[in-house]
Structure 1
Amino acid sequence: MIENFDTLLFDLDGTLTDSTEGIVKCIEYALTKMGYEMPEDTNKFLGPPLYQSFAEFCGMNEEQVNEAVRIFRERYSTVGLFENRVYDGIPEMLDRLKKGGKRIMVATSKPEVYAVRIFEKFGLAQYFEIVGGANINGTRNYKHEVIEYVLAKADITDRSRVLMIGDRKQDADGAHKTGLKCMGILWGFGSIEELTEAGADYIADTPQQVTDLLLGKD
């Protein structure tokens, strides 16, 4: 059991919901419209900020990246964000953690306006004190920037009692860059190898194990 964390920051995509279908379909929509081939490995788009992904994985310049993001959002803002599902065990995990006295917040590189709509649609909004995400204009895009934003909004000064929980190396990197520890989870998009290499401080296999580690077993 891990006893010293009273505030938990959750990633969204690949941690609370499986957003694969919506993201991949919107990536394909944007790339097809711009005349790009769809990369074989679409998993690499799941997690990093879109601006970074289009530049790094498709070789786009800044102008092309901005256009790709604009086209992606044409579809995502109306259809793609709801091509999504809550992972099994997530509502139960959040309910247990909240009843166990934990402050629960979200730190996602997804635009905040979309994250809020997703939580409202899937009935998760009730669990979160703060939902922090990227700005729609592409600023506050990286995980460490979102974490700093959430910590400031929550007026948190003691970072030793805050834990970041996520599925990709960006979550571990962002946590460590802001002085937090990170719990990597294995039901999302990342692998045990990725999370271990990124230096995740703890690893959990299931939502049930997250609550057992943070609250003790029932």
Structure 2
Amino acid sequence: MDTIFFDLDGTLSDPKIGITGSIQYALGKLDIPVPTQDELTWCIGPPLRASFVSLLGGEEHADRGVELYRERFGTVGLFENTLYDGIPAVLETLHASGRPLFVATSKPHVFADRIIDHFGLRSYFTRVFGSELDGTRVDKSDLLRYALNETDTDPARAIMIGDRKHDVIGAANNGIAAIGALYGYGGRSELTEAGAKHLVAAPGEIPALID
């Protein structure tokens, strides 16, 4: 029986407004020119602090940027989020098949847990794996290694579903097969160049591909 790990942002839900809006808030507080939300979509998926290092041109104010981001995201931004069409039906199908389902996200689990509960998805998932607020396990390879150990899962019987290269590379580094979600924020070239051999254009394609 395959164990399935789902990324959160760009795979289960579309968090664009909440994430980009919270980055805009942080940059504004730092008196940095604020890009549009569309110009910030590249920040959806990768570890947040690394995105702030890039946005701010260095390490100096990156930690403060993350703090300011969380000021808004923790109260408003995490709810500016929508499930992708078909996700509840996909989870229902996979859960009914008896497959263990987990969330594996670089987002801190304190936020990821709240988002999963907000959308009423808790019953489908055995556990939500995420990073710590101090950055522990923010790297997808580290996160998936931890998840495999915690769940005593054979990586040869596991699948990672995600929309960014970090998901595919993290899976490969742990011997896990990966499915790339084209409907998210990575795109075909990013996912295939990272090594994804299986791609889905919509959530509804996932169960058949796994079968």
Question: Structure 1 unaligned runs (5+)?
Answer: none
Q: Give the whole-Å Cα distance in 2 for the aligned partners of 1:23 and 1:208.
A: 25
Secondary structure of the structure 2 residue equivalent to 1:183: strand
TM-score (normalizing by structure 1)? 0.92
Secondary structure of the structure 2 residue equivalent to 1:48: coil
Secondary structure of the structure 2 residue equivalent to 1:68: helix
Query: Which consecutive segments of 4 or more residues in structure 1 shift more than 2 A?
Result: 38-41
Determine which of 131, 144, 161 is the counterpart of 2:128: 131
Matched AA of 1:139: T
Q: Once the two structures are aligned, what percentage of the paired residues are identical?
A: 45
1:101 aligned onto 2:86 = no
What corresponds to 2:199 in structure 1? 203
Secondary structure of the structure 1 residue equivalent to 2:61: helix
CA RMSD across the alignment = 1.2
What corresponds to 1:50 in structure 2? 48
Deviations 1:77-119 (A, max 9, x none): 0000000011110000000001112110011000001000001
1:60 Cα offset (Å): 2.7
Secondary structure of the structure 2 residue equivalent to 1:25: helix
Whether the aligned pair in 1 keeps the contact of 2:56 and 2:62 (CA below 8 Å) is: no
Secondary structure of the structure 1 residue equivalent to 2:112: helix
1:152 aligned onto 2:149 = yes
Map residues 38-187 of structure 1 onto 2, 5 A cutoff. Answer: 38-39=34-35, 41-61=39-59, 63-156=60-153, 158-187=154-183
Aligned pair count reads 209
Question: Structure 2 unaligned runs (5+)?
Answer: none
Q: Give the whole-Å Cα distance in 2 for the aligned partners of 1:54 and 1:64.
A: 8
Secondary structure of the structure 1 residue equivalent to 2:199: strand
1:201 Cα offset (Å): 2.2
1:56 Cα offset (Å): 2.4
Q: Give the whole-Å Cα distance in 1 for the aligned partners of 2:135 and 2:204.
A: 34
Q: Give the whole-Å Cα distance in 1 for the aligned partners of 2:177 and 2:35.
A: 33
